[in-house]
Amino acid sequence: MNPGRLQGRVAIITGGARGIGKAIAFKIVQEGALVSLLDILGDLVAQTAEELRAIGGKALGLKADVRQKEKVGQAVQRTLDHFGRMDILVNNAGIVQPALLEDVKEEDWEAVVNTNLKGTLICTRAVLPTMKKNRYGKIINIGSRSSLGKELRTVYSATKAGLIGMTRTWALELAPHNINVNYVGPGPIATELFKASNPEDSPKTRALVNGIPLKRMGEPEDVANLVSFLASDESSFITGQAIFICGGLTVGIAHY
């Protein structure tokens, strides 16, 4: 593994077993970071960690539910015990329960809010003592372009918009401790889960791509490249920002 801009840094990535979280893990490992992956999918997160080790990386795969404070605390402690430090937190774990406004179920509201907002709060609070002690930290919250509005996303968009407010507030509170906090809002990203339900040649997918100013889907690696930059010292003067990575959808007329 060649030295990179994250050489020796230790990162925790929630929801790191697959999709965007997995792409972020591979990118920052290639940049020299050591990673601890947290995911509710125990077997899959262990497999992803093994894949990272197979390319020369150092990785832990830990089963943990971000909604459970005790489990998250144990995972953070295992990371510290194993790697000796903790520098970067990527709050990537999240769920969505699509529904029209009148069809939103109370239990879906609770599940999405507890994962996307409460889970992010729990994980961030768990790493703060170490970051404050070391006077160093990079916190990247993975949101969504849906925070700006999208059909069938009443609850999801509310949580991702709320995450922007949390990001900006935490950036102010944590700046005196040399901790940067930023928000990344992906638009349409061609993860395996997305492609499984949206075939590339389907009319729905073609219409979606045609509505993107850059005329292509985003790849998980596109998001990973931005996260890697925000996790590095090259972004040391950037904090409290919401950066959308969506092929231009935030300035176009299309809706995603």
CA distance 79 to 82: 5
CA distance 228 to 73: 24
Work out the number of other CB atoms within 10 angstroms of the CB of residue 177. 14
Closest among 61, 68, 15 to 34, alpha carbons compared: 61
Tell me the domain boundaries of the chain: 10-245
For residue 188, give Cα distances in angstroms to 37, 150, 158, 221.
24, 12, 18, 13
Active site residue 156: yes
Give residue-wise pLDDT tens across range 207-243: 999 999 999 999 999 999 999 999 999 999 999 999 9
- Asked if residues 144 and 156 have their Cβ atoms less than 8 Å apart, the reply is yes
Output the CATH code of domain 10-245: 3.40.50.720
Residue 194 C-beta-side C-alpha neighbours within 13 Å: 16
Give residue-wise pLDDT tens across range 120-175: 999 999 999 999 999 999 999 999 999 999 999 999 999 999 999 999 999 999 99
254 confidence band (pLDDT: 50, 70, 90)? very low
Q: Is 39 exposed, middle or buried (0-12, 13-18, 19+ CB in 10 A)?
A: buried
Closest among 55, 11, 61 to 33, alpha carbons compared: 11
> Which residue in 136, 156, 183, 256 is the catalytic one?
156
| pTM of this structure | 0.96
DSSP state of 33: -
